[in-house]
Structure 1
Amino acid sequence: MAEETGLFVYGIVPSDVEPTPDAQGVGDPPGEVAAIRHGELAALVSEVGLEEPLGRPADLTAYQELLDGTAAVAPVLPVRFGTVVTGPDAVADLLEAHHDRFAAALDEFEGRAEFVVHGRYEERELVADVLADDPAAADLARQVRGQPEEATRAERIRLGEIISQGVELRREAENRKVLDAVAALVVDSAARAPSSELDAVHLAFLVEADRADDFVDALEKYAEERGGLLRLRLLGPHAPYDFVDAHQLVG
């Protein structure tokens, strides 16, 4: 019996967007990407087996590369990873039901891209900074230094709690400082959850294409000012993953 198939939906684009011949979708082997059109809109899709497990690193990479590559040349509304519908008619129904809302959202994202700023503290410098600001923590650090772990277990736990609280407070302040540094250069921002206890900054920004260079310059200046305390990474340009929820896309 032939395997039942469905259509994996990547994102919504203007109707004149055409997938490149070498565009590859999710699955093993990768599916061929096509555009299903309705009115002013199109959905980028590829065929997948309904029993095929999705979510491998290669699938996530294919999903993001397709959307980011599309966003470099046209506005795109990413649809949540893993959205699979029964066939072309279901895609057309989706586009028809939400046509005006999707078209307005595409207009909003025209000429804009997402950038993600991810900063992580240097652990040694961070701990030294917390101890310098907190005499009680510094005293605990002196008590446990060179002592057996079992004999100073309670002190070490307390010291860890104080350092963790200090990191959280510094993270909140760091995010505010980065937001202030680029506020005049961005359209919107969204906070992302920390990916590590040493995370200093994790923010997504929506930026006009003609302001991207100024945005990058402002972040580079900020990173220089923070010296050796943290390492800052800038990722992008990407499709606007962190900003489409406001439009309640399916998935």
Structure 2
Amino acid sequence: MAQETGVFIYGIVPSDVEPIPEAEGVGSPPSEVTAIRHGNLAALVSEVGLEEPLGRPADLTAYETLLDGTVVVAPVLPVRFGTVVTGAEAVGDLLDAHHDRFVAALAELDDRLQYLVHGRFVEPAFISGFLAGDSSAAALAGQVRGRPEAESREQRIRLGEMISEAVALRREAENRELVDAVGRYAVANAVRPPSHELDAVKLAFLVAADDEDDFVRAVEGFAEQRRNLIRMRLRGPVAPYDFVSAYQLVE
């Protein structure tokens, strides 16, 4: 019995955009990526089995690789990962229903790229600086140092809470300072939730193509000033995942 199939939608692009030649879609084996066109729009799609589980790391990588590769040559509206419709006709209905809104959004994103800035505190450096500036925490650290964990459990818990609170406050400050340092080279920014207890900064920036070099230099300067305290990573350009409404329009 043949498996029922659906259409996985990756993103919305202008109608003249073709899938990048090396594009591989989700699924095992990887599906072929094609474009379904309607008016001034096209949807990047691939066929998937309706009973095939999606969400493997390889599927997410395929989704991001396609969209991140596309945004280098054309604006793209990412559609929420895992969006599957019944067939090409349903894709056409989607593009028709939101045609003008999608066209306007693509025009706003033309020559704009997303960058992600992620920094994580160097734990020994952060803790030593925190203890040097907080006498109560330093006293607690002295009480637990060299003592068995069972005998100093309450003090360790309290010290851990104090360090976590300090990290959260410092994270808010570092995020603000990063925006102050590089924000003039970005069209917009969005704070992302931390993915690790020692995350120091985590923001997405939408950057005009003409400002890319200045933006990257500003991020590098920010990172250099904190190189002993924060390990920084810049990722991009990527598709504007944090700055589009197509996530909400396609459910």
1:61-210 → structure 2 map (5 Å cutoff): 61-210=61-210
Partner of 1:18: 18
Q: Secondary structure at the match of 1:61?
A: helix
Q: CA offset at residue 22 of structure 1? A: 3.2
The verdict on how the C-alpha distance between 1:164 and 1:22 changes in structure 2, with shifts beyond 3 A counting, is closer
User: TM-score scaled to structure 2, two decimals?
Assistant: 0.98
Q: Which amino acid aligns with 1:225?
A: Q
Residue of structure 2 equivalent to 1:245: 245
Matches of 2:149 and 2:38 in 1, distance apart? 67
Q: Which residue of 1 aligns with 2:213?
A: 213
8 Å contact from structure 2 (residues 77, 246) kept in 1: no
CA distance in 2, matches of 1:246, 1:141: 49
- Which ranges of structure 2 fall in alignment gaps of 5 or more residues? none
- Could you tell me whether the CA contact under 8 Å between 1:185 and 1:211 is conserved in 2? yes
SS of equivalent to 1:195: coil
Q: Is the 8 A contact 1:175 1:200 kept in 2?
A: yes
Q: State the Cα deviation string for residues 6-37 of structure 1 (Å, max 9, x = none).
A: 00000000000012343211011111111111
Q: CA deviation at 1:180?
A: 0.4
Q: How many angstroms apart in 2 are the aligned matches of 1:21 and 1:218? A: 34
Write the distance in 2 (CA, Å) between the matches of 1:178 and 1:31.
Answer: 40
Deviation string, structure 1 residues 76-108 (Cα, Å, up to 9, x no partner): 000000000000110000000000000000001
Counterpart AA for 1:56: R
% same residue: 68
- Distance in 2, Cα, partners of 1:86 & 1:61: 23
1:18 and 1:141 map into 2 onto residues whose CA distance is 60
Shift of 1:38: 0.5
In the aligned structure 1, how far is the partner of 2:9 from the partner of 2:215?
32
Q: C-alpha separation between the residues in 2 aligned to 1:20 and 1:186? A: 27
Q: Give how far 1:249 is off.
A: 3.0
Q: CA deviation at 1:225?
A: 1.0
The question of whether the paired residues in 1 share the 8 Å contact of 2:20 and 2:70 is answered with no
- Contact 1:105–1:247 (8 Å) recurs in 2: no
Contact 1:101 1:247 in 2 (8 A): no
d(CA) in 1 for partners of 2:226, 2:59:
37
> How far apart in 1 are the matches of 2:89 and 2:43?
12
Letter in 2 for 1:198: L
Structure 1 residues 151 and 21 mapped into 2: Cα distance closer, same or farther (>3 Å)?
Answer: closer
**Helix, strand or coil: the match of 2:23?**
coil
Q: Which moved more, 1:37-46 or 1:221-230?
A: 221-230
CA contact (8 A) 1:9 1:45 kept: yes
Q: 1: distance between equivalents of 2:166 and 2:182?
A: 25
Question: Which deviations, in whole Å up to 9, do the C-alpha atoms of 1:26-79 show, x marking residues without a partner?
Answer: 011111111111100000000000000001111111000000111010000000
CA distance in 2, matches of 1:111, 1:244: 14
What amino acid is aligned across from residue 228 of structure 1 in structure 2? N
Give the Å deviation of 1:227.
3.1
Structure 1 consecutive aligned stretches of length 4 or more whose deviation exceeds 2 Å: 245-249
67-76 vs 149-158, which deviates more?
Answer: 149-158
Q: Distance in 1 between matches of 2:159 and 2:172?
A: 20
| Separation (CA, whole Å) in 2 of partners of 1:227 and 1:83 | 40
Which ranges of structure 1 fall in alignment gaps of 5 or more residues?
A: none
Give, in whole Å, the separation in 2 of the partners of 1:52 and 1:247.
22
CA–CA distance in 2 between the matches of 1:42 and 1:177?
Answer: 39
